[in-house]
Chains A and B, each alone.
Chain A
């Protein structure tokens, strides 16, 4: 079993819809949770970063962490065609100098 599971999609939604992207994980030591966005033929770029449980909002994006369920989510409100990309979750443990563990990524397409 992989440490981090992420539905690869593809996921297609109409413009303006709310998008929900999710990851589950098995390692209870994970404390830092990140979402990266990767456009086609580009490297990933950090979108959101949360520590431990709770919600974090940044414009149209909300990251949610439920450590009791080992489940993290990224919500995109009022989705735009420019949001079309692959979204990767990543996480790491409590102590510094530990590597990031990535999900496989979900490919998202927003249809105009």
Chain B
């Protein structure tokens, strides 16, 4: 079974803090994605990566950056957290290039910024 794990289920941070969200997949997938999920807005793509050290902006990259130093690990970084970044963050991975391949999701990290 594909397993996508995220470092924390719940996280509370203060405005202005630097926040790291970690995602690890164990199936040697090429592609990894970071989404945020908000009521009434659904899932929105923040960043994605098709290869190590490679990244592409999604729909809402402002205020975020990412890092992919190893194939299995994709980190989302909030350089200076703000209250409007309070959300559920979901990581996903897929095997083949091209997002029509099945994406496997992690359990999510619920981040609250105070």
Contact = CB atoms under 8 A, between A and B. Distances in A.
Contact of A99 (B4, B42, B48, B106): B48
Contacts of A100: 43, 45, 99, 103
Nearest to A91: B100
Interface in A51-102: 88, 90, 92, 96-100, 102
Main secondary structure of the interface of A (DSSP, over half): loop
Contacts of B42: 4, 6, 88, 102-105
Main secondary structure of the interface of B (DSSP, over half): loop
A98 B31 CA distance: 12
Contact of A43 (B45, B99, B108): B108
A99 B99 contact: yes
Contacts of A90: 43
Interface in B95-109: 97-100, 102-108
Interface residues of B, number: 24
Interface residues of A, number: 23
Contacts of B100: 32, 92, 96, 98
A103 B102 CA distance: 17
Contacts of A49: 102
Nearest to A96: B98
B36 to A, nearest CB: 11
16 contacts: A44-B90, A44-B105, A90-B43, A92-B99, A92-B100, A96-B97, A96-B99, A97-B97, A97-B98, A99-B45, A99-B48, A100-B43, A102-B44, A104-B40, A104-B41, A105-B42
Interface of B: 4, 40-45, 48, 50, 58-59, 90, 92, 97-100, 102-108
Interface of A: 4, 6, 8, 32, 41-46, 49, 88, 90, 92, 96-100, 102-105
